[in-house]
Structure 1
Amino acid sequence: MATALPDRAADQGRVLSEAIARVAGCWKLTNEQLGAILGLSPATASRLRSGGFRLDRSSKAFELGQYLVRLFRSLDALMGSDDLASISWLRTANLDLDGRPIDLIRTVRGLNDVADYVDDHRAQI
């Protein structure tokens, strides 16, 4: 008797969506901020956070979500899992990045630049 295998793409969407919801909670992101980062409406970001919406593996939001989780993991490691320190860093102007990271990550380029910046600093430690 053959057992149906779970849909891998759907499972990836569920896992990433749950991870993004946790990131949003840890960093106290509003639905507007989360939506801007992922290219979603605030209402869809709210549904994602509550489990009523899952990212599709083929969507741009999924790809941006992967970058957001990458940034979270890198910053979390750099800050020693101190969410308040991470929030402070995100909301403070950064001369190297020429802006506040929380504002910069609203664009694809900004999200990539901030993630690369944090990864570069992690590599120095």
Structure 2
Amino acid sequence: MATARLARTADENRVLSEAVARVARCWKLTNEQLGAILGLSSATVSRLHAGGFRLNRSNKAFELGQYLVRLFRSLDSLMGSDDAAAISWLRTANLDLGARPVDLIRTIRGLSDVADYVDDYRARV
């Protein structure tokens, strides 16, 4: 039973780590930007991209990674899977949010606010 739980946790860590790395590639986030979002160093993010580091369910970076993937999925749905449109939205000043979303998601509060904003917008559509 404990072995199955450990295997499941390791698999969750791998899956989320790969998903976060894919989000960063799709949105063309630098290691510094992704590190700021997850609370990790640029060097650690580089290892994440290379597969030498995995987010761990017991750390805050894992939870922030979940928020990032949630934001990606919501924005991807809203933009019709158009990565260029999503990147443009992220990098353009948003009057409702008061800043560029890509700048806001560098903090925990900003990541949560942007994810909630996109989810709320999707609910109206």
SS of 1:90's equivalent in the other structure is: helix
Q: Which residue of 2 aligns with 1:45?
A: 45
Determine the C-alpha separation between the residues in 2 that align with 1:46 and 1:34: 10
Which ranges of 4 or more aligned residues in structure 1 deviate by more than 2 Å?
Answer: none
Q: Which runs of 5+ in 2 are unaligned?
A: none
Q: Structure 1 vs Structure 2: percent identity of aligned residues?
A: 79
Match of 1:124 in 2: 124
Instruction: Note the residue ranges of structure 1 that are not aligned, 5 or more in a row.
Output: none
The normalised TM-score by structure 2 is 0.95
Partner-residue secondary structure (3-state), 2:29: coil
Q: Distance in 2 between matches of 1:111 and 1:122?
A: 17
Aligned residues: 122
Displacement of 1:31: 0.2
Segment drifting more, 44-53 vs 77-86: 44-53
Q: Kindly report which structure 2 residues correspond to 1:60-99, keeping only aligned pairs within 5 A, or say none.
A: 60-99=60-99
Residue equivalent to 2:57 = 57
Which whole-Å CA distance do the structure 2 matches of 1:50 and 1:22 have between them? Answer: 12
CA root-mean-square deviation: 0.9
Give secondary structure in 2 for the equivalent of 1:7: helix
TM-score, with length taken from structure 1: 0.95
More helix by share: 2
The CA deviation at 1:120 is 0.4
